[in-house]
Amino acid sequence: MSGNVQLLNDTLAAAKSEGRAALIAYLPAGFPTVTGGIEAVKAALDGGADVVEVGLPHSDPVLDGPVIQTADDIALRGGVKIADVMRTVREAHEATGKPILVMTYWNPIDRYGVERFTAELAEAGGAGCILPDLPVQESALWRQHADKHGLATVFVVAPSSKDARLAEITAAGSGFVYAASLMGVTGTRESVGAQAEDLVRRTRATTDTPVCVGLGVSNAAQAAEVAGFADGVIVGSAFVKRMLDAPDDAAGLEGVRALAADLAKGVRGQA
């Protein structure tokens, strides 16, 4: 069974052909429940997201801010397992036909087994993995299995990355490059900042792979700003916050769907 890296590539290319950036949503598996998390992913895609990153909840999420940490904690206390992450990917992809990636720290994969993880993710219809804490120089085993199973390997670059390091990272990655808009953890912010635009420019000088920007985007105006210079706009904490702040699960799903629709207008310049 081959994964859906080609679907991811085609989706990003289709957005570019429409003269816009892709909208990429992030939601953790198992939050507020496994079934509720699947419905949330479907709501984001139904609302207008092109791609979804499904977070694998982790007890030490070094890149994640307080909003996603809270959701991860709820999922972990609910007993979420890697099998539930795979189920989330499978059911969301089957329901929508859109590309679904997993965003995870390296430790859970290492413990689970790289071959087992990549094979199961491909079988579930996954498009790839975002690995924020896996150093490129230690990624050969992962990339070997990901390539074998038709999965993208998305690495994260930061404003602190030197040009030579950017070239090393982009040469090893596939699908897209995740450009962290600023130094720090995930969360909504008032401004995405000029650092992100400079990082995209420097990253593009090393690769033809799409460059997508995350960390800090929470509304249509910010999405439109980032869409002006990036190939994709990644939004996570704002979606999770809609669910955390909702009075009940149904309202949370409606909040996710509405935010996706608003952001979709932003990446199309209609905000």
Pick the closest to residue 263 from 232, 221, 230, 210 (CA basis): 221
Q: Is 53 a catalytic residue?
A: yes
Catalytic option among 39, 50, 53, 120: 53
* CA 38 vs CA 10, 47, 120: distances in Å: 23, 14, 17
Query: What are the backbone dihedrals phi and psi of residue 175, each rounded to the nearest 5 degrees, phi first?
Result: 85, -80
Q: Is 64 a catalytic residue?
A: yes
Catalytic option among 39, 64, 91, 225: 64
Q: Is 267 in contact with 23 (CB distance < 8 Å)?
A: yes
Write out the catalytic residue numbers. Answer: 53, 64
